[in-house]
Chains A and B, each alone.
Chain A
Amino acid sequence: MELAQGLVAIGAGLAIMTGMMTGLGQGFAAGKAVEAVGRNPEAENKIRSMLILGAAIAETCAIYGMLIAFILMFIY
């Protein structure tokens, strides 16, 4: 029935909105990392690896949302 398909599409669109605050949080972390490198330019490698690790862990919420959106789109 087409009402069900339309509702599934709306649900997938709502699920992908978890990426909004993730972008904000990762941008904030990158800003703090740049400030830390400016304060201490010798620790650049350690700060870079810690930034990548922290950003990718904070990205898991957005990945959960994207996974649910893909499952909704392709299976229902």
Chain B
Amino acid sequence: MIGNITIQIQAEVISIIVVSLVIFAFVFVVNKKVKTANIYEKPKGILLIATIFVEALAKLTNDNVNHKSAANYAPYIAVLALYLLFSNFSGLLGLSQPTKNYSVTLTLALITFVLIQRASIKTVGITGYIKSFFEPSPFLFIMNFFSKIAPIISMSVRLFGNITSGSILMLMVYGFTAYLSGLFPIIGSINFIGPLIAPFLHFYFDLFVGAIQMFIFISLTTVFIGIELSQ
């Protein structure tokens, strides 16, 4: 509070800072190991993970964006993959995931929207872009307009809905096991049933759903860009 103004910081801001520090530490360690590595022997440890990651993302980007300028989009897709993966996994550390906030997912979807429109303008030029609103008939202007807006809403709500529903269900499971533990007379003030059955649910809701949604977000981004570039 500064004077009469109260400033509220949402819990996801702290999570974003923690996730950024984790990504920075990972990249820093890999950088140091790459500079002192021998290129004639097989990588192991964290260098192996980094090699697999870079190869998989380069293959995915080049396959989905069937164009010679596909390598320009690969760095952004790699950073997006790291950011979404670590921020979906941060529910395991007890933080409130950044993607649980609709502002974060809407921002990422808007960045994708700008990338898609820029790819389209670069391929057909700005007159072709405006003319594509009136094809095949000028009466379909509203439909063409909405088919360009639809990916924003669908991608942001898909990511937001999956992560938020997972976290609300975990909250309800912990609440129910706390009530069950409270029925025991002396040791009931500590929730001891919760950590017995929660790890299996954490495995599905945090790890599996987080990884799948990251994969879907990246695949849809690259496929939409590839559709625009191939016209």
Contacts and interface: CB of A to CB of B under 8 A. Distances in A.
Interface of A: 52-53, 56-57, 60, 63-64, 66-67, 70, 74
Contacts of B216: 53, 56-57
10 contacts: A52-B212, A53-B216, A53-B219, A60-B154, A60-B157, A60-B161, A63-B162, A64-B161, A70-B164, A70-B165
Interface of B: 154, 157-158, 160-162, 164-165, 168, 212-213, 215-216, 219
Contacts, number: 31
A50 to B, nearest CB: 10
Given A63-B161, A70-B168, 5 more contacts: A53-B215, A56-B212, A66-B161, A67-B160, A67-B161
A67 B212 contact: no
Nearest to B219: A53
A32 to B, nearest CB: 19
Contacts of A74: 168
B165 A67 contact: yes
Contacts of B215: 52-53
Nearest to B209: A56
A47 B154 CA distance: 25
Contact of A56 (B157, B160, B164, B213): B213
B220 to A, nearest CB: 8
A66 B212 contact: no
Contacts of A67: 157, 160-161, 164-165
Contacts of B168: 70, 74
